[in-house]
Amino acid sequence: MDWFGSGRALLARVRSDASCSCCNVVAKRDSHEVKLGHFLGPDLGLPIVFGSPLKPTRSMATSNRAKAIRLIFAIALALVCGCDLVPKTARPLPMPEIEQPPANLPAQLHQRNWRGELGQGSCAHASLVSHLRWLNLFDMGERWRATYGDGEWESRIRQRLDAAGLDYSYTLKADPRFLDWASDTRRGAILWWKPGHCCTFMGWVEGADGRQYAAILDNNRPGYWEFTERQQFVRLWAGYGGFALSVHGDPASSMPYKSYEII
């Protein structure tokens, strides 16, 4: 009678009175005694019991391989990133002053007024080109510069903006809240400023005296800001017609700054 069966089945039936040594296993099954020489060894061609220390199973080998891969990866990561044994401390740096004016277009991008085909100044178009550049609409600004010129009025410039597919907001009543919005969003605006002239509103700035001033870019004088106290500005603006318009674009981000240092 064959009492071997599978190694797993046989071990499952070994009674508590079974004895074993380092090289022999004696098992009793009913009244029959079977002596298995080197039962767990590979020489007899018997199946190795799952989890046997004599031969790793597939899952054990896979686990060991995964551990080795993780160890190699950790060593490689340390070599790439470096291992600085000297502790470092970061110290925060003060935030710089708020950029002024809010629409701080670089001087190199200020559009100068030009004379159109009719011999007229193109102040409204020059103001709009600077405004579009600040809103990162450079291609639109260049197309506008190449397409339009000469004098302009508020209804026609809005029609041309509509034709170009640009969204915008505007006022005809010299509403200072409109300029507050244009300054807070850092978009700026174009507006009627000075007799028969159009300029670019770059936002409100705080003066040394604690009062607000309008920062204006005059296309007849690019590279400079002109400042007028808020109340006086609103009063004069209303006298010049009270028109202002701001395109719905994304303004340039604030200037980057270093927020901390290592000590």
Classified by CATH at the fold level, domain 107-247 comes out as Cathepsin B; Chain A (3.90.70)
**Tens of pLDDT, residues 154-169:** 999 999 999 999 999 9
Asked whether the beta carbons of 74 and 247 are under 8 A apart, the reply is no
Question: What pLDDT is attached to residue 61?
Answer: 59
CA-based nearest residue to 14, from 28, 24, 4, 2: 28
Ranges of each domain in the chain = 7-79, 107-247
Hey, what are 245's tokens? 């318009």
- The distance from CA 45 to its chain's CA centroid, rounded to whole angstroms, is 64
For the segment 108-134, the average pLDDT, to the nearest whole number, is 97
Residue with tokens 């597939």: 58
Which residue(s) pair with 247 in the sheet?
168
pLDDT above 90 for 261:
no
Question: What is the three-class DSSP state of 192?
Answer: strand
For the segment 122-126, the average pLDDT, to the nearest whole number, is 98
**Tens of pLDDT, residues 186-236:** 999 999 999 999 999 999 999 999 999 999 999 999 999 999 999 999 999
Question: What pLDDT is attached to residue 19?
Answer: 42
**Tens of pLDDT, residues 53-71:** 444 455 555 677 778 888 8
Hey, what are 155's tokens? 């209804």
pLDDT above 70 for 249:
yes
Give the CA angle between residues 127, 130, 134 to the nearest 5°: 140
pLDDT above 90 for 73:
no
Q: Quick count: other Cβ atoms within 10 Å of Cβ 191?
A: 30
Question: What pLDDT is attached to residue 23?
Answer: 40
pLDDT above 90 for 140:
yes
